[in-house]
């Protein structure tokens, strides 16, 4: 074997080792990011406080939104409603949650009625500003108030549009991107039930 061939083999081994190390580090980083237990302490329309522990043993489909949302929120709630209908007898194994990022206005405008209009199983939750921020931080989502003279009360809310699946043990499982079809969400949940 020539010296050139030996060098090529050695460089190939170095590159393979570097690639393996990069994959291992990426996998460890993904595990660290993906492995967490979100939580909150928020109230329904009757004042009852809920935390993730209240849904132990069931999957939770969690969405952060607001009742004046013109598109993302109603679209996502419609998908959630379809998933719940399609689950049929297994629907009792999934709790859909709508967490308000605009709690004061949403309570005033009827958060419970808003979510019930989509599906009776959806539970609307809201807290004070601190509890809302804590819940959003726990799920690693962003929201903010933005001035908009054309919107009701002169403002709207910007927010992360994902739908989050939490397992029966409270472990975060995955995020569904905005406009993920109900059939895809259903298929994922059915594989886990």
Binding residues for Cu cation: 69, 73, 159
Distance separating alpha carbons of residues 40 and 99, to the nearest angstrom: 10
Distance separating alpha carbons of residues 109 and 102, to the nearest angstrom: 11
Provide the token pair at 21: 């190390």
Q: Residues forming the annotated binding site?
A: 69, 73, 159
Closest CA to 164 of 38, 30, 62: 62
Q: What are the start-end ranges of the H helices in the chain? A: 3-34, 72-87, 103-109, 111-118, 129-138, 182-192
């Amino acid at each position: 074997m020539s010296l050139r061939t030996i060098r090529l083999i050695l460089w190939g081994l170095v590159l393979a080792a570097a690639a393996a190390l990069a994959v291992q580090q990426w996998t460890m980083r993904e595990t660290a990011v993906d492995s967490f237990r979100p939580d909150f302490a928020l109230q329904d329309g009757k004042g009852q406080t809920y935390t993730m522990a209240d849904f132990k043993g069931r999957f939770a489909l969690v969405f952060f939104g607001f009742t004046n949302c013109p598109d993302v929120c109603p679209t996502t709630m419609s998908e959630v409603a379809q998933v719940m209908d399609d689950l049929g007898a297994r629907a009792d194994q999934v709790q859909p949650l709508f967490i308000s990022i605009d709690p004061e206005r949403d309570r005033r405008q009827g958060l419970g009625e808003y979510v019930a209009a989509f599906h009776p199983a959806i539970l609307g939750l809201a807290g004070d500003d601190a509890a809302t921020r804590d819940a959003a931080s726990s799920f690693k989502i962003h929201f903010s108030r933005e001035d908009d003279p054309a919107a009701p009360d002169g403002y709207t809310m910007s927010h992360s549009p994902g739908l989050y699946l939490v397992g029966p043990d409270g472990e975060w499982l995955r995020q569904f991107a905005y406009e993920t079809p109900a059939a895809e969400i259903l298929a994922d949940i059915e594989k886990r039930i």
